Structure 1
Amino acid sequence: MLAEYYEQLEILGTNITLGILFLLIGLAIRDVLKRSSVPKFGQIIVWLVLFLGCFGFIAKGIIQVLWESGI
């Protein structure tokens, strides 16, 4: 049974791992921004870039699922 779902489990594991990686990157950036005296505008730009990276990853996944399903 596990062999039947191996590809799906691999994709799920990869997505979860990348999600955790994005979370850790966000925590590291928050720590760096707290410890240094970055102006508010700079902080907004940093978080915007991080959000757009995460959004691109999520959008890619949704587009891939739609493309493979033929919708």
Structure 2
Amino acid sequence: MAKRSEEITPTRAVPCESDNPIVEEFKEDMLHRPTYGARPARESEERLCRLEGILAELYQKVEALEGRK
């Protein structure tokens, strides 16, 4: 399960590079947003297997459609 933004602390401070508060707020949100790297390895492996299965189905459907020509 991904950590909530309150539980994640940024690894380094990002200096303020803009006078625009909206841009700075967006940067802060991006620092605290969970990433794919935060997932447990098991969950990532399961997701990869599922995606490989979907890709295999897609290849089969494409081959079937190409065979109709």
Range class of TM-score, shorter chain: 0.3 to 0.5
User: Which structure has the larger Rg?
Assistant: 2
The structure carrying a bigger helix percent of its residues is 1
Higher relative contact order (CA 8 A, sep 6+): 2
* TM-score using structure 2 length: 0.44
* TM-score using structure 1 length: 0.43
